[in-house]
Amino acid sequence: MTTSRRDFLSAAVTAAGAALTPELHHTHDHEHQAVPSDLALRVKALESLLVEKGLVDRAALDTLIDAYEHKIGPRNGAHVVARAWADPAYKQRLLTNADAAIAELGYGGMQGEHMVVVENTPKVHNMIVCTLCSCYPWPVLGLPPVWYKSAPYRSRSVIDPRGVLRAFGLDLPADVAVRVWDRTAGWRYLVLPERPAGTAQLGEEQLAALVTRDSMVGVGKVAPPQVGVSA
Amino acid sequence: MNGVHDMGGMHGMGPIQKEKNELALHENWEWRVFALRRAMGAWGKWNIDVTRHEVELVPPAEYLRMGYSERQFAAFLVLLPKRGFITPEELEAGKPAPGYHVATPALTVEKAATLIAKGVPANRDVPVAPRFQAGQRVRARNINPVGHTRLPRYARGKLGVIHRDHGVFVFPDTNAHFLGEKPQHVYSVRFGSRELWGQQAAPQDSIYLDLWDDYLDSA
C-alpha cells in the first residue's frame, strides 16, 4: 500500500512540470474521454497525505462537492431571470444592484461575491468570457462547462465574438451590437436574456423552465415554448 | 506575465467543442481537486491571486495540453510544499515524515458551508480616491510585468472609456506576490472592438474589461 502510494505521488511531483497524460478529448461523447486513472490515484494519494497530517477534513470536502455537484447550478440563475421577466420592479433592482436582488432569492456566495447583470435587448447582445482563467458566477450558474474553460472559447470570444456565437448556432444581424464582458476582476457577470415571444401567459416557474445556461452566459437565446407541448 | 494563459485574441486553438452532457467536472478526482484546493485555501496561506499565478506558471506546453483540473492539480502540488504544508520528501514518499505534527483541519463542515454562502469578497472598505470617473477616456498602460497581472495583453496601450466605477478592490499584481493588497478602484472599461482588433471587427461591437487604477492613464 505504502509502496503504491509512493509511486503515485512521485509521479505527481512530475506532473507539476512535465508531460503526464494525453490531452482530454472533449468529444461529443464524453464517456470516451481518455481520463488517466493514474491521475485519479495521485489525487487520492495526495488527499490521504493531507488527511493524515490533519490538514483537511474529508467531511468538509464532501460538503463542498455536494454543494456544487448537486445543489448550486443554472436553475438558480433561471429563477433570477424568470423573476426579472415576471416582475419589472425586480428587474430594475437586478440591473442596478445585482448582489442584493440575487440575495433576495437566496443566492450568493463563493465566486459570486460581486455580481453584475447585463440585459440583452433586440439591439444589444451581451456575452461573458474569462480570457485569463475561468471566472464564472458560481452561485447562479454553478461551475462552468468544459468549453467555457477551454482555450478555443477563451481565445476567440474577444476577437471573433460573432464567429463564436455562430458556432453556438446564433447568427446575429449587423444592427445588433455585441458586448463581450471579459472577466478580469472580482466581478462576475450574468446575462439577462430576452424574454421569448409567446410567454405572456406563463408563470414564473414555467418561464424559469425555458431559461438555459447558455442564454445566461450569452452564447444562446431563450427559445419560445414549443407549441403543442403541454407543461 | 506574458504567459499562454493570456490567450484573448490568439488563433489556432481549434473549434469550440460542446458536449452532449455538459458536466462541469466529469471525473471524481476532479471534484476532489476542486475541494482540496478550497480546503487548503482556508488556512489563509495564500489567496486567489497567488493560486491563479501558480497556474500561470505551469509551463506553456503543459498548460495547453492539460485539461482544467489537471492544471489546477499541478499548480496545487507546487504550492503545497512552497507554503510549508508538506515537504518535498513527504510528497515523494506519499506519507507524513516520521514524528509529524497532526494539525486540526482549517476547513470544517461548518466553515465550508459559510465559504459557499459568503465566499471571499475582494472589495475593501477603505477610503481611496478614484482616479477616473464614468465617461472619461483612458488608455490601458503598456506594462509587461514578469509577475501576475490581470491586464490582458490585447488591451495594453489601447484607448477605452470608463463605463462604471466598481469601488475599491484588492490589487492582484501585488497580492499574488504577498506584497500587500494595495486596494484601489476597479472600473468597467469599454473598448471598441476596432480599437482592439482593427477593421476586421464590427464597428458596433465592444469589449468590457474590469481594470484597476494602476492599469490606466487618462487619455
pLDDT band at B20 (very low <50, low <70, confident <90, very high): confident
A4, A10, A133, A155: which is the annotated catalytic residue?
Answer: A133
Closest CA to B60 of A170, A151, A98, A114: A151
Query: How many CB pairs below 8 Å do chains A and B form together?
Result: 334
Chain-chain contact of B186 with A132 (C-beta, under 8 angstroms): no
Q: Would you kindly state where each structural domain of chain B is located, as residue ranges?
A: 28-118, 137-218
Q: Which chain B residues contact residue A35 at CB under 8 A?
A: 26-27
Was domain B28-118 assigned CATH 1.10.3720.10?
Answer: no
- pLDDT attached to residue A34: 54
- pLDDT attached to residue A231: 46
DSSP B99: T
- pLDDT attached to residue A27: 42
User: φ, ψ for residue A198 (rounded to 5)?
Assistant: 80, 20
Q: Is A37 a catalytic residue?
A: no
For cell 450568493, the residue is A108
Question: B68: which residues sit within 8 A by CB, 6+ positions away?
Answer: A134, A146, A149, B30
Q: Is A155 a catalytic residue?
A: no
The structural architecture, per CATH, of the domain B137-218 is: Roll (2.30)
Chain-chain contact of A13 with B16 (C-beta, under 8 angstroms): no
CA angle A95, A78, A140 (to 5 degrees): 70
Question: Where in the sequence of chain A do the CATH 3.90.330.10 domains occur?
Answer: 73-217
Contact yes or no for A74/A142 (Cβ under 8 A) = yes
Tell how strand B137-140 and strand B216-218 pair up.
antiparallel
A residues 11..40 contacting B (CB < 8 A): 12-13, 15-21, 23-24, 26-30, 33, 35, 39-40
The residues pairing with B207 across neighbouring beta strands, listed in sequence order, are A180, B191
Kindly state the average pLDDT of the residues A104-117. Answer: 97
Kindly state the average pLDDT of the residues A156-170. Answer: 98
- pLDDT attached to residue A229: 52
The CATH code of the domain at A73-217 is 3.90.330.10
- pLDDT attached to residue A36: 54
ipTM, 2 decimals? Answer: 0.97
Question: B100: which residues sit within 8 A by CB, 6+ positions away?
Answer: A53, B90
Alpha-helical runs (H) found in A138-203? 138-141, 146-149, 151-159, 161-167
Task: Output the pTM of the full model.
Answer: 0.91
- Selecting from B33, B105, B205 the residue whose C-beta is nearest the C-beta of A177 gives B205
A residues 142..201 contacting B (CB < 8 A): 142-147, 149-159, 161-162, 164, 167-168, 174-187
A17's grid cell: 512540470
Encode pLDDT of A12-63 as tens digits: 444 443 333 333 334 444 444 455 578 999 999 999 999 999 999 999 999 9
